[in-house]
Amino acid sequence: MLEKQVLVEVKDLKKHFKVGRKKMLKAVDGVSFNIMHGETLGLVGESGCGKTTCGRTIMGLYEATDGQVTFKGQSVHGRKAKEKLELTKKMQIIFQDPYASLNPRMTVGDIICEGIDIHDMYRGEKRTKRMHELLDLVGLNHEHASRFPHEFSGGQRQRIGIARALAIEPEFIVCDEPISALDVSIQAQVVNLLIQLQEQLGLTYLFIAHDLSMVKHISDRVGVMYLGHMVELTGSESLYMKPLHPYTQALLSAIPEPDPDYSQSKERIQLDGEIPSPINPTDGCRFASRCSRVKEECHTETPLIKEVETDHFVACHLY
């Protein structure tokens, strides 16, 4: 097997939003990780933890406040429009809400081919051929191309979103909660499709979601975020078998399992309170206010992410 190559490198990425005078919303505050070629990196966390902002900043949809994102050795940020266009050919995103992310006044064919037109990749007959290829790939019919988004169900719309992302043959796709708006049986369809496409086309995914069992299913490695920080990053098996960070442990124990005997007997680590505001956060560990194993230094010193076991990174003063 070939040595795994780094496709995307994220270094100390920060994205702050200004909200009112002297108030900074630190959505992403110093996150570093690598995404290897051909793997799926899952990103989980509660709402407001910065996972979507992180995905969008990596794509270059937001300008980073600080830090670096490199794709195949090239920096994503701080480029001229023309260079950026070249770079975005290789990176695509699938959005969360299949109801809001498709233009209702464009036909499905035009939606799918928008990227192709922008990059001027195919014209005329070749464009139609490519469009039909894409529709086949995601399991839609050729005649769907002339219809409008409102004629489709949620699962079908998400397929259109996937076809659009695949149109320009990207290598890297950010999947921003692609299944959270769908029903259980439809979720399985879309996840199967994503896995199958990855094998077929050798894609690399950054899979953002809050459904922990789905993330485990699709990901090779999983990163857990809390209030703009990455608190734990490791292989998906070891994260679920042996979570080290107290937040990850609580998060995993909160997943309701569809098995009455198991879920009624298991011990749950109850988290009190709620996720604090990311506006002007305090020093120290962000999780300190809710952590059951909090120490004195947690309030003063921000823990750095370090490798505790092989390929198991944790940001916690306990280790």
Partner 1 sequence: MKKILDVKNLRVSFKTYAGENKAVRGVNFHLFEGETLAIVGESGCGKTVTSKSILRILPSPPALIHEDSQVFLEDRELTELSDAEMVNIRGSEISMIFQDPMTSLNPTMRIGDQIAESMIIHRGITRKEALNEVVNLLEMVGIPNPEARIKQYPHEFSGGMRQRAMIAIALACNPKILIADEPTTALDVTIQAQIMDLIKSLQKKLNTAVILVTHDLGVVAEVADRIQVMYAGEIVETGNSRDIFYRPKHPYTWALLKSVPKLGTENKSELYSLNGTPPDLLNPPKGCAFAARCEYCMNICRVKAPAFTDITEDHKAACWLMHPKAPTIDYKVESYTGGQTC
Binding site for partner 1 (CB under 8 A): 46-47, 153, 155, 183-189, 191-192, 195-196, 210, 212-214, 216-220, 236-237, 240, 250-251, 254-264, 268, 270-271, 274-275
Which residue lies nearer to partner 1 by CB, 166 or 212?
A: 212
Which residue lies nearer to partner 1 by CB, 13 or 215?
A: 215
Pair type for strands 40-44 and 221-226? parallel
> Measured from the CB of residue 66, what is the shortest distance to partner 1 in angstroms?
28
> Measured from the CB of residue 267, what is the shortest distance to partner 1 in angstroms?
12
The candidate with the shortest Cα–Cα distance to 293, out of 268, 318, 311, is 318
Which residue lies nearer to partner 1 by CB, 114 or 139?
A: 139
In the beta sheet, which residues pair with residue 312?
309
> Measured from the CB of residue 168, what is the shortest distance to partner 1 in angstroms?
25
Residue 236 CA to residue 217 CA, distance in Å, equals 8
Q: Residue 97 phi/psi, 5° resolution?
A: -100, 105
> Measured from the CB of residue 263, what is the shortest distance to partner 1 in angstroms?
5
Which residue lies nearer to partner 1 by CB, 83 or 257?
A: 257
Query: Helices 154-166 and 108-118, interaxial angle, to 10°?
Result: 20
> Measured from the CB of residue 197, what is the shortest distance to partner 1 in angstroms?
12
Which residue lies nearer to partner 1 by CB, 149 or 155?
A: 155
Residues in Cβ contact with 125 at an 8 Å cutoff, skipping those fewer than 6 apart: none
Residue 98 CA to residue 96 CA, distance in Å, equals 6
Residue 23 CA to residue 87 CA, distance in Å, equals 33
Q: Residue 308 phi/psi, 5° resolution?
A: -90, -45
> Measured from the CB of residue 221, what is the shortest distance to partner 1 in angstroms?
11
The enclosing H or E element of 72 equals none
Q: How many CA atoms lie within 13 A of 143 on its CB side?
A: 1
> Measured from the CB of residue 268, what is the shortest distance to partner 1 in angstroms?
6
Which residue lies nearer to partner 1 by CB, 87 or 195?
A: 195
Q: Tokens for 78?
A: 């701080």
Which residue lies nearer to partner 1 by CB, 180 or 302?
A: 180
Q: Tokens for 70?
A: 């490199």
